[in-house]
Amino acid sequence: MMTSEIAIGEEVRTAIAKRRAVVALESTIFSNLGLPSPANREALDRCLAAIRSSGAIPAITAVIDGVARVGIGEREHDLILGPARKVGERELALAIVQRWPFGATTVSASLLLADRAGIGVFATGGIGGVHRGVEQHGDISSDLGALAKHPVVTVCAGAKSFLDLPRTLEYLETLSVPVIGIDCDEFPAFTVRSSGIPIPARVDDVKQLADIVRAHRALGRTGGILACVPIPAHESLDRAHIEAIISDALASAKSDAIEGAAVTPYVLTSISKATDGASVRANLALAENNARVAADLAVALAST
């Protein structure tokens, strides 16, 4: 099925038509731009299994041979695990017209595609946000604007820990994006369970969150909601240790003139090396956990 420039997979299209639970996924994390091989394949398998075991249908987003896709079949999994060009919301039209072989969708592109396909829940790892030193370079992720624009609930483990988290939360408030912690009082920091920063609102379970989503939509709100789930406690990395690694990595990035979109993969690679791969294992755990919670939410919303 084509919706303008978007092709929706048959399983996903059928689920949407029957008002079944569907969870959108980005493809960057599964590509060579995200987790290293073979961890990226493990992430894919674990996320898909978590969503299906909760009774929902996964809908991976990507651009393949110039077609924006929502729902990628198993036969194409090897393709999305390989080399990719990153596609944010800004690059989607370019990737389509120039017929990129594989464009891995970021949070912002995935939110646009989920919105156009009629999917109300999206799972990712950690969102982008306001970068440290923003007063010098103005680097703010387009994820935040997309969260404000598209009526999709994003389930994540907070924002990546090397960002300016207080300013990220402040910017989300400026954009009027509700930020809700699921069974947590502090903003999660990706592979670190807590940043120490109070979260604006808390719910104790997915049922409460589903009620808030319904009320949000009934009020005519046209933007999204950010739902934050901390990484499971036994997989969380130590906050002080990670902060020290991040400080060193950001200093190295500045020394090496790494800027813009290149900062995120640079810092994540530095963290992985410094933790001897523990950050990759934590990333796998939080991605799977977010996918499961997103599926539970999608099922709760589909039950009414």
Q: For strands 179-182 and 225-228, give the pairing.
A: parallel
CA gap 35, 14 in Å, rounded: 31
Pull the structure tokens for residue 267. 């810092």
pLDDT of residue 62: 98
Amino acid at 57: I
pLDDT 10s digit of each residue in the chain, 304 long? 545 579 999 999 999 999 999 999 999 999 999 999 999 999 999 999 999 999 999 999 999 999 999 999 999 999 999 999 999 999 999 999 999 999 999 999 999 999 999 999 999 999 999 999 999 889 999 999 999 999 999 999 999 999 999 999 999 999 999 999 999 999 999 999 999 999 999 999 999 999 999 999 999 999 999 999 999 999 999 999 999 998 998 889 888 888 877 887 888 888 889 999 899 999 999 999 999 999 999 999 998 7
Which position among 26, 91, 235, 288 bears the catalytic label? Answer: 26
User: Is residue 54 within 8 Å of 294, Cβ to Cβ?
Assistant: no
Q: What is the helix (H) or strand (E) element at residue 142, kind and residue range?
A: helix 142-149
Range 169-197 burial, b when 16+ CB lie within 10 A, else e: bebbeeeebbbbbbebebbbbbbbbbbee
**Rounded distance, CA 195 to CA 294, Å?**
22
26 catalytic, yes or no? yes
> 86, 160, 235, 288: which one is catalytic?
160
| Sign of torsion over alpha carbons 139, 145, 231, 46 | negative
d(CA 244, CA 288): 26
The residue among 153, 180, 139 whose CA lies nearest residue 263 is: 139
Are residues 198 and 188 in contact, defined by beta-carbon separation less than 8 angstroms?
no
Q: Which two tokens stand for residue 96?
A: 């389509």
Phi, psi of 8, rounded to the nearest 5 degrees? -100, 125
Is the CATH code 3.40.1790.10 the one for domain 2-302?
A: yes
Cα dihedral 118, 65, 51, 89 sign: negative
Tokens read off for 142: 């387009």
Q: How far is CA 202 from the centre of its chain?
A: 20
Residue 18 a catalytic site member: no
Say what the pLDDT of residue 226 is. 98
* Strand (E) or helix (H) holding 252: helix 239-255
Threshold 0.75, pTM exceeds: yes
- Tell me the domain boundaries of the chain: 2-302
